[in-house]
Amino acid sequence: MTRFPTALHEEIAGLSRTFLAGHPSVDTVLVVNSCARGRAIPESDLDLAALVTQAASLDEMHSLELAWRQHLDGQGAVQQFCRTSPFAQVHIDIFNGSFQPTVWDDGGGPDDFELAIGNRVAYAEPLGKPGDHYVKLRRRWLPYYEDSLREQRLEMVRSTCLFDLDHVPFLVGRSLHFAAFDWFYKAYREFLQALFIARRRYPLSYAKWIREQVHERLNLPELYKALPPLLSVSRLESTELGDKADTLRRLVLQWT
């Protein structure tokens, strides 16, 4: 259930719903991210999403977002909200419910396919009664997508992760330590993506809420203990990063 951290969050969500629900292309207005999960604090952004019908054009979706922004700009509650913190913002995503898996080329990954389904369908909270399109999306994508696609994506993400880890010792050997770290962190996020695909669970993020996701949602406390030390590099210009790549490779093989 949605739990807004302040009355301003709740008021602006209500203003947005009232405005958007009057548009003929809008199927369902959603609260997403921290507020939807009851994890928001008073300084948190308010993140919303509006699901439109599949017949809505890209121009119509863009015009709807602009109209929403213009509507909120004149609201005193929004101005007051944005003064509460330098980071307080109101965001909205207009989407039509089309989730298309990508095929990665060299350098691809991680992507937002599972993230989008998770945050907009699995973990979102409708403001008011959900529309027919949203109900159909939940039937289509929950509890998880079909095994044939899952197997394809798991193999793609897993193999890319291992390939990216191969770059790390090579770059360390050339004293390109910052580039090595860049490839390592990419592989780290791909490991998280593969971990969730392997367990048929939609993620929240590959950069935030890692403890909540791995320790609590996946119930893997021992694995979580191994993750923070991977990003704790005491000497970047050393062979340490190569050793951490070996550790992450073992985790990939063990957990995915």
Q: How many other CB atoms are there within 10 angstroms of residue 103's CB atom? A: 9
How far apart, in Å, are the Cα atoms of 146 and each of 63, 110, 143, 207, 250? Answer: 34, 20, 10, 26, 28
The pLDDT value recorded for residue 105 is: 83
Is 1 a member of any domain?
A: no
H-helix or E-strand containing 52? strand 46-52
Strands ordered across the beta sheet of 90-95: 90-95, 46-52, 26-31, 125-126
* CB of 180 closer than 8 Å to CB of 167: yes
Residue 107: which CATH number?
Answer: 3.30.460.10
* Contacts with 15 (C-beta within 8 Å, 6 or more apart), sequence order: 71, 72, 75, 77, 78
The pLDDT value recorded for residue 1 is: 55
Is 12 a member of any domain?
A: yes
**In the block, which residue shows the tokens 């000497």?**
235
* Statement to judge: residues 14 and 91 lie in one domain: yes
Gyration radius of the chain over CA positions:
21
And the tokens for 208? Answer: 């935030």
Number of domains forming the structure of the chain: 2
- Spans of the chain, pLDDT less than 50: none
* Statement to judge: residues 215 and 238 lie in one domain: yes
* Statement to judge: residues 250 and 162 lie in one domain: yes
Domain that holds residue 52: 7-141
* Statement to judge: residues 50 and 169 lie in one domain: no
Q: Residues 222-230: contacts with CB within 8 Å, 24+ apart?
A: 223/195, 223/251, 223/255, 226/251, 230/188
* Statement to judge: residues 129 and 59 lie in one domain: yes
* Statement to judge: residues 18 and 131 lie in one domain: yes
* Statement to judge: residues 43 and 131 lie in one domain: yes
Is 199 a member of any domain?
A: yes
Q: How many other CB atoms are there within 10 angstroms of residue 118's CB atom? A: 21
pTM: 0.94
Query: CA angle 92-94-95, nearest 5°?
Result: 135
How far apart, in Å, are the Cα atoms of 241 and each of 111, 150, 170, 223, 244? Answer: 24, 31, 11, 19, 5
Single residue among 115, 141, 167 that ends a domain in this structure: 141
* Statement to judge: residues 113 and 204 lie in one domain: no
* Statement to judge: residues 37 and 116 lie in one domain: yes
